Structure formats: structure tokens, C-alpha cells
Amino acid sequence: MAGAGLLCNLLLAALKFTCGIIASSQAVVADAAHSLSDCTTDLVIIFASGYWSKPADDDHPYGHRRLEILVTVFIGIVLAAVGCGLIWRAFVTMGERQANPPGRIALYAVLFSILVKELLFRWTMLKATELQSSSLVANAWHHRSDVFSSVPAGLAVLGAEMFPDWTYIDNIGAVVVSVLIFQSAWRITIPELNKLVDRSGSQKETEEIRGIVLETEGVVGTHAIRTRYTGGGVMAIDLHVQVDGNMSVYHGHEVADMVKNRLLEHGPGIVDVVVHLEPADDSENTDILKGEENENR
């Protein structure tokens, strides 16, 4: 997946560098440099994915998926840096005029790049959804940012050809693109930073977990549901489950196993479950069930 993206980015960067130099287009040459920044994130995913996919071990009992969060944050930071570079270049080159207008071949290179990168974005996002991988989502948006950055480059070439005096079009487009890239970087980075500080899952996910538990045979009620992400879209949870106080230890253990297995099979991306059993007498059972009914309403 990332290997295909790396190959595309290298080929597109080479194409835009060549056409930009031949056509005397500084905007297209700069766009080629942006394509090379995509190669950085592709390389990070290729080399790091083998590590975060390793199973849990004695030193990492919850697995290695937190590394995927760090990689995703890194990609978001790279995106923000690209945005800073684009907006800085837009301001420092404001009003500059090229000696010769760019050639049409530069526009063709940019249009081809936009088509390929948009297809690559959609393909990567499809795979990210299928694999529930936040790093692939981040990398997909990095591909889309290359589409954004190619637009002002194409406008610069077209505008320079049609209106040689309108040199500021490329700069205005670069500022707009920078805002879009910053927006993508924010959307990628902030959720992953929340996961690093053990922010819980959404209320919807908690209610889904509660419903699965209450539907398990032998369960009277549940509370103290705590969730946290261990990496990407996978979650570890612990919760308290109330059962009949007269139930045997063996039977209670079976109920706990059923709760765990049902959550692992039907829960929202759950990879680890810790169940705490609690006895409940008849009066407690009635209060618990009433409380759950009121919450669901």
C-alpha cells in the first residue's frame, strides 16, 4: 500500500521537476518538491508498520499499536510544515515576475499529477477504512494535500500564459491551499494526540459496549465502563459486571468469559477486555436495570 504510494510520488516528483525546468515554471518545480515530502511519510509507514503490527510480548503486554499513533502525528506535523512552506513562499514571492511565461508542458504535468494523486487518495482511504488504520488515513490526506498544492501551480502556469501581468494569482492560490492543508493537519493530529493521553471512546461507543454486555446471559447490570485507544482504531476496555450474588465462582467466570468474547467479536474495534465481577442482590438488580433503561431513553 505505502510502497505503491512511494513509487507514484517518486515518479510524479521526477515528472514535475523535469517539466518544470523545461517549461521554466518555478511553481511546478516547487510542487515537485512537495511531492518528495510525501515520500517521507510513505517511507515512515513502510518501515514502522512492521513494528506496530507485532503481537504483544512481555515488555509490551498491550502490543505495539501506539507507534502507529506517533507515526500519524508525525504525518500531521509534516503536513503542517508543508502548509507553512507554501504560505511563506506565497508571501516572499508576491509581485515577482518571471522573465518568460511557463510552457504548456508544465500545465499538462500538473493536471496529470492531480489525477493520479486524487486516485491514490481514494484508494488509500478505502484501504485505511478496511484496515482501520489511522496512519493510512493520515497518509491518504497527505496525498490529497498534494492535489491541493498542485492547483495553484496549475493556475500559475495557466494565468501566466493568459494574463502575463496577473502574477499574484499563484500567491493567492497558495494561501488558500495552505489553509486547507492546515485544516487537514489539524484533523489528523488532534484526535491522535487525544489517544496518546488515553482519552476515552465516544459516548456512542460506550453505549454500544453497554448494550452488548447487558444482552449477555447471566448479566444483571454493568457500570464503570472505561475505554482507551491502544493505537489506530483499536480499543482496550475494562468494566464492572453485576451478576446474581448466589452464583458460583465457576458460573460467574463463564459469564465473564461470555462478556469478553462477545465484546471482542461484536464491539467497536476492541482488542482487550478486563471484566470485574460483582454480586448484586435483588434490590440492587432492580435499581440497576431501571437506571440502564433510563439512560437508554
| Segments making up each domain of the chain, as ranges | 2-196, 203-296
Grid cell digits, residue 114: 492531480
Residues 6+ apart with CB under 8 A from 183: none
pLDDT band at 297 (very low <50, low <70, confident <90, very high): very low
Find the helix packing angle between 134-162 and 2-22, rounded to 10°.
Answer: 10
Cα distance between residue 67 and residue 237, in whole Å: 19
CATH number belonging to domain 2-196 = 1.20.1510.10
Cα distance between residue 76 and residue 186, in whole Å: 7
Cα distance between residue 177 and residue 148, in whole Å: 6
CATH number belonging to domain 203-296 = 3.30.70.1350
Find the helix packing angle between 26-52 and 66-92, rounded to 10°.
Answer: 170
| In contact, 270 and 228? CB cutoff 8 Å | no
Whether 203-296 and 2-196 are alike in CATH topology: the answer is: no
Q: Over the stretch 135-166, which tens digit does the pLDDT of each residue have?
A: 778 778 877 877 877 877 787 778 777 776 66
Name which residue leads in pLDDT, 296 or 42: 42
| In contact, 152 and 174? CB cutoff 8 Å | yes
Please give the helix or strand (H or E) that residue 257 lies within, else none: helix 249-266
pTM, rounded to two decimals: 0.62
Cα distance between residue 273 and residue 256, in whole Å: 10
Give me the numbers of helices (H) and strands (E) for the chain, helices first please: 9, 3
CA dihedral 257, 261, 262, 264 (to 10 degrees): 140
Q: Over the stretch 169-223, which tens digit does the pLDDT of each residue have?
A: 666 766 777 777 788 788 878 888 887 777 777 888 889 999 999 999 999 999 9
